[in-house]
Chains A and B, each alone.
Chain A
Amino acid sequence: MTTTAVRATARESAGIMPGAWRIGLLRGALEIKQFFRLREQVVFTFSFPVVFLFLFASIFRDRVGHTGVTASQLYVPAMMASGIMSTSFQSLGISIAVERDEKVLRRLRGTPMPPAAYFLGKIWLVLFTAVLETAILLAVGTAFYGVHLPSDAGRWLDFGWIFVLGLTGCALLGIAISSVPRSAKSASSVVVLPFLVIQFISGVYISVDTIPGWMLDIGALFPLKWLCQGLRGVFLPDSAKVLEQAGSWEFGRIALVLAAWCVGGSALCLLTFRWKNRRDG
Chain B
Amino acid sequence: MLGGMTAHANELAVDVRGLRKRYGGVSAVDGLDLGIRRGEVFGLLGPNGAGKSTTVEILQGNRSRDGGEVSVLGADPATGTRAWRSRVGIVWQDESAPVELTVGETVRHFARYYPQPRDPREVIRLVGLEAKADSRVKALSGGQRRRLDVALGVIGDPELLLLDEPTTGFDPAARRQFWDLIRLLADDGTTILLTTHYLEEAEALADRLAVVARGRVVAEGTPAELRRRYGGEATVTWTEPDGSPRAEHTAAPTRTVAALMHRFDGEIPALTVTRPTLEDVYLRLTGQEAVR
A14 touches B62 (CB 8 A): no
> Smallest CB-CB separation from B85: which chain A residue?
A112
Residue in B38, B105, B113 whose beta carbon sits within 8 Å of that of A112 in the complex: B113
CA distance A112 to B156 in the complex (A): 9
Q: B-facing mask of A269-281, CB < 8 A → 1, else 0?
A: 0000000100001
| Dominant secondary structure at the A interface | helix
A7 touches B159 (CB 8 A): yes
A15 touches B83 (CB 8 A): yes
**Whole-angstrom distance between the Cβ of B95 and the nearest chain A Cβ:** 8
Q: Would A8 and B38 be within 8 Å (CB), given that A104-B98, A276-B62, A281-B63 are in contact?
A: yes
B63-111 interface (Cβ within 8 A of A)? 63, 82-83, 85-88, 90, 92, 94, 96-98, 100-101, 105, 109-110
Q: Would A107 and B152 be within 8 Å (CB), given that A1-B39, A4-B38, A112-B113 are in contact?
A: yes
Residue in B23, B115, B191 whose beta carbon sits within 8 Å of that of A17 in the complex: B115
Whether A103 sits at the interface, judged by CB under 8 Å, is yes
**Whole-angstrom distance between the Cβ of B281 and the nearest chain A Cβ:** 28
CA distance A281 to B22 in the complex (A): 12
CA distance A26 to B189 in the complex (A): 31
Q: A276 contacts which chain B residues (CB < 8 A)?
A: 62
B136-193 interface (Cβ within 8 A of A)? 136, 152, 156, 159, 189, 191
Whether B244 sits at the interface, judged by CB under 8 Å, is no
B60 touches A5 (CB 8 A): no
CA distance A111 to B110 in the complex (A): 8
Q: How many residues of B contact A (CB 8 A)?
A: 39
Q: A106 contacts which chain B residues (CB < 8 A)?
A: 62, 92, 96
A1 touches B38 (CB 8 A): yes
Q: B97 contacts which chain A residues (CB < 8 A)?
A: 104, 107
B100 touches A38 (CB 8 A): yes
Residue in B39, B113, B156 whose beta carbon sits within 8 Å of that of A23 in the complex: B113
Whether A210 sits at the interface, judged by CB under 8 Å, is no
> Smallest CB-CB separation from B96: which chain A residue?
A103
Q: B-facing mask of A247-274, CB < 8 A → 1, else 0?
A: 0000000000000000000000000000
CA distance A109 to B61 in the complex (A): 9
B101 touches A102 (CB 8 A): no
B8 touches A9 (CB 8 A): yes
Q: A2 contacts which chain B residues (CB < 8 A)?
A: 9
CA distance A110 to B109 in the complex (A): 15
> Smallest CB-CB separation from A37: which chain B residue?
B100
B85 touches A110 (CB 8 A): yes
What total of A-B pairs shows CB separation below 8 Å?
A: 103
Whether B270 sits at the interface, judged by CB under 8 Å, is no
Q: A-facing mask of B127-138, CB < 8 A → 1, else 0?
A: 000000000100
Q: A6 contacts which chain B residues (CB < 8 A)?
A: 5
A11 touches B87 (CB 8 A): yes
Q: Would A104 and B82 be within 8 Å (CB), given that A3-B189, A8-B38, A110-B90 are in contact?
A: no
Q: B230 contacts which chain A residues (CB < 8 A)?
A: none
**Whole-angstrom distance between the Cβ of A271 and the nearest chain B Cβ:** 18
CA distance A109 to B80 in the complex (A): 11
CA distance A31 to B61 in the complex (A): 26
**Whole-angstrom distance between the Cβ of A86 and the nearest chain B Cβ:** 20
A114 touches B116 (CB 8 A): no
A102 touches B86 (CB 8 A): no
> Smallest CB-CB separation from B93: which chain A residue?
A103
Closest 6 CB pairs of A and B: A15-B115, A5-B9, A103-B96, A112-B86, A112-B82, A4-B39
Binding site for A on B (CB under 8 A): 5-6, 8-9, 23, 38-39, 60-63, 82-83, 85-88, 90, 92, 94, 96-98, 100-101, 105, 109-110, 112-116, 136, 152, 156, 159, 189, 191
Chain A to chain B contacts (Cβ below 8 Å), 24 pairs: A1-B9, A2-B9, A4-B39, A5-B6, A5-B38, A7-B189, A8-B8, A15-B83, A15-B115, A16-B115, A17-B82, A18-B114, A23-B112, A26-B109, A30-B109, A34-B100, A102-B96, A104-B96, A106-B96, A110-B60, A110-B61, A110-B62, A112-B86, A113-B113
